[in-house]
Amino acid sequence: MPLRNRNSESGSAATAGLLALLIVILVAVTVYVFATNLYPPPPTITEVGKAVDHQYFLTLCVTGTVFILSQLGLAYAIWRFRDRGQPAHFTRGNNTLEMVWTTATIILFLGLGLLGRKAWAEVRFTPAEPDAVRVEVTTNQFVFNFRYPGPDGKFGRLDPKQVSASTGNPLGIDENDPAGKDDIVMPTLTVPVNHQVELLIRSQDVIHNFYVRELRLQQDSVPGMVIPIHFTANQTGHYEIMCTQLCGLGHYRMRSFLDVVSEADYQNFLKQQQQGAAQ
């Protein structure tokens, strides 16, 4: 096989230059999208939401800086070390550099985690206020059901054998438990504004998720567990609830709505539902 003349097919700056330029353009477009806030999230309606947004911003600053520096470094290396017909150079790497960027990554990740811990813990690890509105959220393929305890303030016992969506008992409320007689089950969630709400999240089949963007709240529902979270919405409105776990073929249509209403409207809603149940 004849030896090729390396110099005749190397040394083209065009390929390396084009690739480096593409990377620089990619970085510029990405920075533009984030810096101009091209796709802003809907404004939050909770105090905790502000802490979550602040945490997102911090994370974006840190990961954005790393992204910009590493991509520009890559573009530089592609250009600087392009093929000029020189012999390949073997390197075993640089232990000091490896140590530095591994340690820096650990510190950044742990630091961001520790900073975000407060907002996370406030929603999940502190008990709800005693006068919080309690609503049980049950997920199944592919619907949400919301249960209110009714005037007695007690949820009726659940009996899996009595689960029967077609006869109007999707949750399997035990017929023999008097506490369950006044329970209200709704396909959407209605809560009062400026009043703490505690959700007790459960699942009947697979792992689903309860997510409302405006609450900045996202929680998996896990079969066999009741997961409590709480929030206080400070603005009335109609918001979308969605399942963010890929839970099956109908996942794309698994959604519901959250209505945040005034305290008076909330009492009216409860009264109407109770009358409906009594009829």
Distances (CA, A) of 52 to 72, 121, 235, 254, 269: 30, 12, 17, 25, 31
- Candidate segments 27-35, 61-69, 86-94, 245-253, binder of Cu ion by CB under 5 A: 245-253
- How many Å apart are CA 176 and CA 197, to the nearest integer? 28
Tokens representing 234 are 């400070």
Count of residues of this chain found to bind Cu ion when the rule CB under 5 A is applied: 4
Q: Which of 212, 241, 247, 258 binds Cu ion (CB under 5 A)?
A: 247
Q: Which of 134, 147, 202, 208 binds Cu ion (CB under 5 A)?
A: 208
CB of 255 to Cu ion, least distance (A): 9
Nearer Cβ to Cu ion, position 147 or 208?
208
- Return the residues of window 224-243 that contact Cu ion according to CB under 5 A: 243
> What is the 8-class DSSP label of residue 162?
G
Site for Cu ion contains 82 (CB under 5 A): no
Nearer Cβ to Cu ion, position 241 or 254?
254
- How many Å apart are CA 182 and CA 166, to the nearest integer? 20
Nearer Cβ to Cu ion, position 44 or 203?
203
At which residue do the structure tokens 């009594």 appear?
278
Print burial letters for 216-228: b (CB count within 10 Å at least 16), e (below 16).
bbebbbbeeeebb
CB of 220 to Cu ion, least distance (A): 10
Nearer Cβ to Cu ion, position 100 or 225?
225
> What is the 8-class DSSP label of residue 197?
E
- How many Å apart are CA 19 and CA 81, to the nearest integer? 13
Binding residues for Cu ion (CB under 5 A): 208, 243, 247, 254
